[in-house]
Amino acid sequence: MVKRKPAVPDPYAGEWATNKHLARPLPPPMRTTDVQKQLNLARADLREGRVAEAAAAAGELLAEIERKLLLPNPKEHLLHALAGAASTLLGLAGSGQDRFQEAIEEFARAGEVVEERGDLAADLGIALAKSGAPDEARPRLETAIDLGEDTPDVRRTLAEVLRDIGRPFDALRAFDLVLERAPYDWRARVARAELAEANGGAPLDVARGWLDAANTLLTAGRPEESAAAAERARELAPALTTDVALALASAHADSGNTAQALAQLHTVRESTATTAQRLSAAELFAQLGAFTEAGELTDAVLAVEPDEPEGLTLRAQLLVNQGRSADAEPIITQLADLAPEDPRTHYLRGVAALDAGDAVTAIAALSRADQIMPGQPAVLANLGAALAHTKHFDTALDLLDQALDLAPDDAWTLILRGRTKMDLERLAEAEADIRAALSFEPDQAEGHALLGELLSRKEDYAEADTEFALALTLDPGLGWVWPKRGEALTGLARWAEARDAFETAIRLAPEDASARTGLVNVLLSANGPDTIGDAERVVVAAIALDGQAADARALHAEILRRQGKLDEALAELDRALELLPDYAYAVGTRGEVLLELGRRDEAITELRRSVELGLDPAWVHGQLGQAHLLNYAENGTKTDLDQSLAHLRQAVTAVPDSPSLHVDLGQALRQQEDNEDALAEFDQALALYAVTTDAVPTSDLATAYACRGETRLALGDAAGAVADLDRAHDLGEDAADIRALSAEAKRLTDDLAGALTDADAALAEDPENVLALTVRGAVHADRGSPEAAEADLRAALRHDPVNADAHRQLRLLLLSAKRYDESVEALADAVGRTTGDVSLLSEYAQALTAAGDVRLALTVLDELLWRAPGNPEVHRLLGDTLSGTGRYAEAVSAYAQGLSLAPGDNTLVLNLAYAQARNDEFDAALATLDRLPPDATTLTARAEVFLEMGRWADAAAAASEAVRLPGHDVSAYLALGWALQHGEHTDQAKSKEAYAQAMRLSPEDDPWPRKGFANACYLTDDEETAHAHYRYVAKMLTDVSAHDPDRNGLRGWCLYRMGRHAEAVDCLRRAVDEPDLRPGILLDLVLAHLGRGDFAAAEDALAAVVTELDRLAPPRRRGIAQVGLDNLRTAAEHDVADRQKAREFVARITEALDAEPQA
């Protein structure tokens, strides 16, 4: 953003701009009062043991004094004194002995101000004492005390000075004064013990001094030095063995030397210890986990003194810590009578009640304990835990926070706070607390168990299991951990181990119904051969233990569902939901059962509700996907298919390693005819099945293979389909539909015997299987059994009158028998039964075209374009129909549109090229063919285009190349034979060979290769063979329809060559009105009239020829005229026509050709 200038200039802007040194405000001045506050804080840090913090604060303070205060005010005495105090602190914090000398120098510069303030006099005295000048230090320290600086540090330093100047007894009295005021001053304790020993004190008194020092050092957190002090006491006074052993045990325990600590405690146990000593030892035994020894010592005390409060308190504490709160209750009651106001009694009652699940009693007892003795961390922690049990989480956390403020390193309190935060789903904070607790107490079994539970909630099952295993190793008695571990192992799909965990939990707590439901879940997930029966027995037992357990009833319903007892399952789910109305699992399972009962709308409602209640969305999306897919299969509503795909895609994204979800998504994609993507899903499913360690039901695997086989079949991979469908059959998939699909795949791979076997097998199981009937009908047709074929196909249509595949096969069968009207009638009936079925409309259009009803065929195709504008096959059909009626320009447009929708469809490319050639777009046709690979099919097409252009040599070259390549067919030989019969470089012998090959490749009833071969024989003077083939073709076409110009023209030509000129004229006249054939048919009529001697009719036909040639594009005109000229010359040579007339007609045709420029 551009900042605008202010409307009114700032009158001070210029002044501030010129005063550069004032551009930044000065820091606030540092006052001596601020220095004093910081100095006092640093002293407090040092007294409380925060040495590093004290050193940092003092160093920073000294730097500030020197830089900001002394530099501008070098003669300010108080500043020098404060600098001296800061240097003394640095020396005491371990920054070096020279710091004390610096302090003395600064105090010297301060002058009399030091004598006026007790704290400064004390710091100077301490600096002198630490610098080895005790005589000078003493008066300074005494002055400090007189001025009110009578602190333990000053007194202790004075005692050290008295010791150093040779006044030991005064020093001892001084140390005693220090310890009266600061009993836990370990430095004073150690110094006094050393001084007493050095000055010949009584050994027992000296030993007691060292023992006091040991206890003080332990309190100060210096266990190694404490142990050394205790050892010194034992050396001086063996009579103190028991006290020394207790001190050593405490020191070793705090150092982590458990074995040495226990050894010392056993010394106490075996000695003639006092009651207090025995109870102290028992308490230490308990702290070290030796509960048996602790209990025995306590019992020994109580055997002698049954009402000893400390003994009773410790015994109750031991029982509570061992989870035996019920056994502790009588002792707690006894304590309540003996010491009703002892907070420990109320504390123990509260903890015992908490263990027993009585949170209300626990809260009352722990609250009373807190009233009597506020601020005890253990009381606050357990009170917080009790409040958490009653869902008062905020108050609970406040109390746990207070407890941790008092005892930050208490592992148990951290665990309790972690448990409470878990209840609030604050998992990250909970994990931090639990891990902190374990850092303080790595062997805390409860902590590892709780961490395992938390990790399990986060679905980190592997780490969770590790924590559970460690917890059970540390404390095998943690029975509640076993079902939790079972849940983690279930999440890891380690079914056998999970089953063992739950069974262990049941053995430890037979009354625990929840462990049984966990076991049922494992048994259902494992999919073993006997698991359903085992699961049913366990869940029935769980319901017997707790009939109000909604989860057990829901699992029972799942078992009933799998057993096919859907109505019973639904009733059980209704009971579960009465007990727990918003139980997500039960709602989801109810949706699944409703789906299997066919009540899909209700199922969809329940499944959606289960997601709202928190059920795993991935599973629900899978179920919803199936529900909508079934709806689509029933009503064909596109919305259902879209929703099915959306749900299944979400499910697969959430659980990408679920093979069954990939199968479901593949089936939905198949319904959308997205076969490539469907195949990818089935491939993924089978890949996952191949690597899974789970038990895979063979039916699931068979379904995956069957689905992939069906998809491969749709994509034209019949061989792959056969392999997959056979694999499905080997896995036990004997469904008639699968055998029928296998039959279709084998038919397409020319395994007609195998196809017939599978079709028969399918029909043996399901006599009305439409696909099997259709395939068997097609196989009979391929084997030349039209009656059997028609019977099967019509049977298929009786069962499914609108089956497009059966209609296609029947149409082809009727077409081969020239029963066009029957085909049209059957398809018209099927179309009338449906609303816009694209496949049936396509078949209907083709049947109409074959029957010659082109106008109606185009009407049907218009409807197809409206219903399926994006279907390239519809555009191909339109192009074929338009081509058949000579509307080549429109056909070119139709093919081009189809090709834009399916750019890789080579059939459409070929059709487009043919249409372009028939539309006289020869260069465009050749360019279109250049888009295809130069295989046999492409070269054959190029040859045919060259033939239409009259480029005989180019056509012969392309066809010759085509017949040398694999994949060539009869069309290549027909093109080669025709190209070699005409033009400037004819080769009638090779033409005859080409037509002979064409005859070998074509069926007996194909007249075109035979007619070509007859022509070749005629032109090589083998007229007998030629006439035999002409007769064969003419006889074959005797019953040709008057509406079939191609075959009438062909028969007319054969009759002409046989000398039956009048019959030839009749046939040719029935073909002459076909626009594409007219020029060639007129030329044949010229020959037939000449053969009859009807020169007038021949003249008329010739005039029509010239007119037609004028209308043709030059390349086409040249090709057709060349054939006519060749035939006229042949007729003259064979005396079929008057030679003079034939030469005259040749000249007139040649003149007509020369009249227009040739392309």
State the pLDDT at residue 614.
Answer: 82
Summarize pLDDT for 55-96 with one digit per residue, the tens: 888 788 777 777 666 666 666 777 777 887 888 878 887 777
CA 971, CA 1009: separation in Å to the nearest integer? 9
What token pair was written down for 734?
Answer: 């004997």
Summarize pLDDT for 896-953 with one digit per residue, the tens: 998 998 888 888 999 999 989 889 999 999 999 999 999 999 999 999 999 999 899 9
Tell me which amino acid residue 587 is: V
Identify the CA nearest to 1159 among candidates 950, 915, 984: 950
CA angle 1037, 1039, 1040 (to 5 degrees): 65
Q: Could you report how far apart the first and last alpha carbons of the chain are, in Å?
A: 72
Label residue 163 left, alpha or beta by phi (over 0 means left) and psi (-120 to 50 means alpha). alpha
The 10 Å Cβ neighbour count of residue 202 is: 11
Helices (H), 67-112: 77-92, 98-110
CA 1060, CA 684: separation in Å to the nearest integer? 69
Q: What is the CA radius of gyration of the chain?
A: 54
- The structure tokens 């924590």 sit at 467
DSSP 20: G
CB 465 within 8 A of CB 482: no
Low-confidence ranges of the chain (pLDDT < 50): 1-30, 1157-1159
What token pair was written down for 643?
Answer: 């929703």
CA 626, CA 640: separation in Å to the nearest integer? 10
